[in-house]
Amino acid sequence: MSKQAIGLFDSGVGGLSIWKAVQQLLPNENTIYLADNKNMPYGDRTKDEIIALSEKNTEFLLENNVKLIIVACNTASTNAIPHLRRKYKIPFIRIQPAIKPAGLQTKTGKIGLLATKGTLKSNMLEELKQIIPVKDVEIIGQVGKGLVEIIEQDKSSSDESFDLLTQYLRPMMEENIDQLVLGCTHYPFLIPQIRKIVGNGVNIVEPSFAIARQTKRVLQESDLLNQQSKFGVHLFYANKDIRILSGILKDYANVHVELKNF
């Protein structure tokens, strides 16, 4: 069973920020990545819709005999993880906004959170606010409407993305944030543009390597680490378009990208 793949799903290419960290930390693991780009973005959907799509993605990965599933989408994690863990016996790794580490590092007491509407409205965000280790920390939330679509259209470096990010980030800068939490796995693709706007005085916080380390811990505890000496094989499936996936992954070895109905 240890040679079975790690499964990951997202509404598109955003979860690749998580996959890259997992592949770097665990190069011998096989992976299967599911991009449900036919139904993206998840952030504008209802909780019931998100749960239904997450179930469908989970069952596709289970049919492909994965040993663990990373829900590589903040919106799906915040809205569907409790349900998935009740319904399925496989281990799930959840993604959540890195509010706690940002709370530990802030000097101004102001944290910006750029996320989808689905994440900002979720119960998990309220729970995370309660565990901030420093008192009197203010979280300034902003819905990143349109950003997922820009990334999925391969326009991360465009003037359109810069203008939209400026609209979202300038008010946070005026509030004197010194931490910016990226609450969607798509948003790390925008870090070069974000850095142009916020400068070097703002720490950008995203969870990819923390998730990779958590994945390794769970595999070790479950005796599921792949002990093979060769590099893993990586399968990627999308149900609408594979061009962006293929372009991002073109420099990786042992990768197969396929358009598939699911």
How far apart CA 91 and CA 107 sit, in angstroms, is 36
Containing H/E element for 49?
A: helix 47-63
Query: Given 99, 137, 139, 184, which residue is catalytic?
Result: 184
How far apart CA 228 and CA 75 sit, in angstroms, is 34
Query: Given 40, 73, 81, 111, which residue is catalytic?
Result: 73
79 catalytic per annotation:
no
Contact 115, 144 (CB under 8 A): yes
Q: 83: which residues sit within 8 A by CB, 6+ positions away? A: 51, 54, 55
Which tokens is 226 given?
């792949």
The CA-CA-CA angle for residues 118, 218, 227, to 5°, reads: 130
What is the maximum span of the chain, computed from C-alpha positions, in angstroms? 52
Q: 75: which residues sit within 8 A by CB, 6+ positions away? A: 11, 41, 42, 43, 45, 50, 116, 118, 119, 122, 184
How far apart CA 209 and CA 223 sit, in angstroms, is 21
How far apart CA 116 and CA 245 sit, in angstroms, is 21
44 catalytic per annotation:
no
Check residue 59 and give left, alpha or beta (phi > 0: left; psi -120 to 50: alpha): alpha
Residues identified as active-site:
73, 184
